[in-house]
Structure 1
Amino acid sequence: MILVVDIGNTNIVIGVYDGDELLGNWRMVTRSEKTSDEYGVFILSLLKHSDIEHTKISSAIVSSVVPNVMHSFENALKKYFNIEPLIVGPGIKTGITIVTDNPKEVGADRIVGLVAGYDIYGGPLIVIDFGTATTYDVVSEKGEFKYGITSPGIQISADALWQRTAQLPSVEIKKPSSILAKNTVTSIQAGLVYGYIGQVEYIIKKIKEEMKIDDMKVIATGGLGRIIYEETKLIDVYDPLLLFKGLKVIHDKNCKK
């Protein structure tokens, strides 16, 4: 079995594959102050709760955009699973050619999403990840990653609004029944959700226009992505497990069966 892990700015998501079957997946808050023992014991408890025998996990792959967490997390896998994890980074085989101005700046999570999207759907392709930041990444028909757009995530936008204004409350992120809001809560929700739908649709259209490719497939992932996917026809597929699939593909490209 394979442990697949993506360490993001807000959450750490963990999955276990048995062959090509994802047996389970879990989410925990990213905290850089956790020790290797805390990570190790927590992962063991998740596996035990799902009746997954941890001794059957023979390898692991980790992508991370939070360097401060990596030391503790790697040590947890070594100490509690006796595994030296494969780390997504420079020199690893992905099947994607990064031809941006500075390939070293590209986050591991973006690479993983592109790998999964290209492996499953082929190119040309736009992968949108609705995470802490929302990223729009473009991979060509030949598997070349040339272009990426980054914007504040929906939750960041919401947090900034209520933190920087004295009288506006924190609200649940959901689409109100109408954009014609009659109170403060639905006013904020309308601005956040309808505004974000507009952003997503404009960026998708602009990418296709400048690349002169009308039939690019658009894949979305990330926790709040479902809200936007359900409100636009410009996103073809919403796949909440895209990063797990990408990690599995990269693992198989780099590890012998």
Structure 2
Amino acid sequence: MVLAVDIGNTNIVLALFKGKRFISELRIPTNPHKGIYVYKNKVLNFVKSNNKSETPQAIIVSSVVPGALASTKKMLAANFDTVPLILGESIKAPIKNEYRKPGQVGQDRLVNAFAVLCFYRKPAIILDFGTAVTIDVLSKEGSYLGGVIVPGVELSIENLTRRAALLPYINLRKPKDILGQSTVESMLSGIFYGYAALCDGIIDRLKRRLKIKPIVIATGGHSKLLSSYCKNIDAIDPHLTLKGLNLIYLTISKKS
């Protein structure tokens, strides 16, 4: 069994796989300095309840939070009889990276591109609705070309309510109509229809810029909630990053 760990800015998501089969996931808030150390017992119970041998065959980690990664590595190494494989350190995503400065690309974006390369067709555009919304392009040759980064939904809501004194913080839920008739309704309409228009507009521009007819895959925490408002999305894969991490391990282990 393989334990995949995706350390994001908002959440750390752990998932167990048996071969290519997804077994279960655990989602915990990201502590930027202590990683999963503060949730040690919760993590150990999660692994034990889904894996009778208690120790995974392999652990593979992707992170965009350096402080959380350092403490997470220590916790995993101290509690499991296997050395965690760290994407971008001990291993690399097996995909051609055409970013001008390849080291600047977030590991999660490369993992997503590799997962789409293996599970879907190319060319492709990948939307990841996380702390930031990333819109990335996989070429028809199977290379990662680059993409677009915009502030995420929760980040936009937090900054809007912090900077605008009369606007309340809102819990994300689908608006009843595009025409809001209260402050909360208007804000919800702006978030849902605004992000849909943003994503569709960028996708259309990328299609014209690159002269491609791609498949469009959505993933990330808000993908299910927002994707129905976007006309360009072909499929939703909420576990894309975790599946990509597992697939990277399976690919590398076959070659070794």
The aligned counterpart of 2:100 is: 101
Deviates more, 1:193-202 or 1:141-150: 141-150
1:239 aligns with 2:237: yes
Map 1:159-174 → 2, pairs under 5 A: 159-174=158-173
Contact 2:192-2:229 at 8 Å conserved across structures: no
Please give the secondary structure, in 2, of the residue aligned with 1:119.
Answer: helix
Map 1:48-127 → 2, pairs under 5 A: 48=48, 50-53=49-52, 55-89=54-88, 92-127=91-126
Please give the secondary structure, in 1, of the residue aligned with 2:54.
Answer: helix
Q: What CA RMSD, in Å, does the superposition of the two structures yield over aligned residues?
A: 1.7
TM-score for both structures, normalised by structure 1 = 0.94
1:180 aligns with 2:179: yes
Distance in 2, Cα, partners of 1:83 & 1:77: 8
Contact 1:6-1:64 at 8 Å conserved across structures: yes
Distance in 2, Cα, partners of 1:128 & 1:111: 12
Shift of 1:35: 7.1
1:20 aligns with 2:20: yes
Contact 1:173-1:193 at 8 Å conserved across structures: no
Shift of 1:95: 3.2
Please give the secondary structure, in 2, of the residue aligned with 1:95.
Answer: coil
Shift of 1:93: 4.6
Instruction: Specify whether residues 207 and 62 from structure 1 end up closer, same or farther in structure 2 by C-alpha distance, changes over 3 A only.
Output: same
Please give the secondary structure, in 2, of the residue aligned with 1:23.
Answer: strand
Alignment identity in percent?
Answer: 38
Deviates more, 1:33-42 or 1:216-225: 33-42
Instruction: Specify whether residues 30 and 37 from structure 1 end up closer, same or farther in structure 2 by C-alpha distance, changes over 3 A only.
Output: closer
Instruction: Specify whether residues 206 and 246 from structure 1 end up closer, same or farther in structure 2 by C-alpha distance, changes over 3 A only.
Output: same
The aligned counterpart of 2:148 is: 149
Distance in 2, Cα, partners of 1:16 & 1:225: 21
TM-score for both structures, normalised by structure 2 = 0.94
Q: Deviations over 1:62-83 (max 9, x none)?
A: 0000000112111111111122
Deviates more, 1:82-91 or 1:8-17: 82-91
Map 1:4-15 → 2, pairs under 5 A: 4-15=4-15
Instruction: Specify whether residues 20 and 165 from structure 1 end up closer, same or farther in structure 2 by C-alpha distance, changes over 3 A only.
Output: same
Distance in 2, Cα, partners of 1:58 & 1:91: 17
Distance in 2, Cα, partners of 1:51 & 1:114: 28
Shift of 1:145: 1.1
Distance in 2, Cα, partners of 1:158 & 1:36: 26
Q: Deviations over 1:184-212 (max 9, x none)?
A: 11011111111111001101100001111
Distance in 2, Cα, partners of 1:5 & 1:91: 15
The aligned counterpart of 1:221 is: 219
Distance in 1, Cα, partners of 2:149 & 2:35: 31
The aligned counterpart of 1:248 is: 246
Instruction: Specify whether residues 106 and 51 from structure 1 end up closer, same or farther in structure 2 by C-alpha distance, changes over 3 A only.
Output: closer
Instruction: Specify whether residues 167 and 220 from structure 1 end up closer, same or farther in structure 2 by C-alpha distance, changes over 3 A only.
Output: same
Distance in 1, Cα, partners of 2:37 & 2:131: 26
Gaps (5+ residues) in structure 2?
Answer: none
Contact 1:11-1:28 at 8 Å conserved across structures: yes
Gaps (5+ residues) in structure 1?
Answer: none
1:136 aligns with 2:146: no
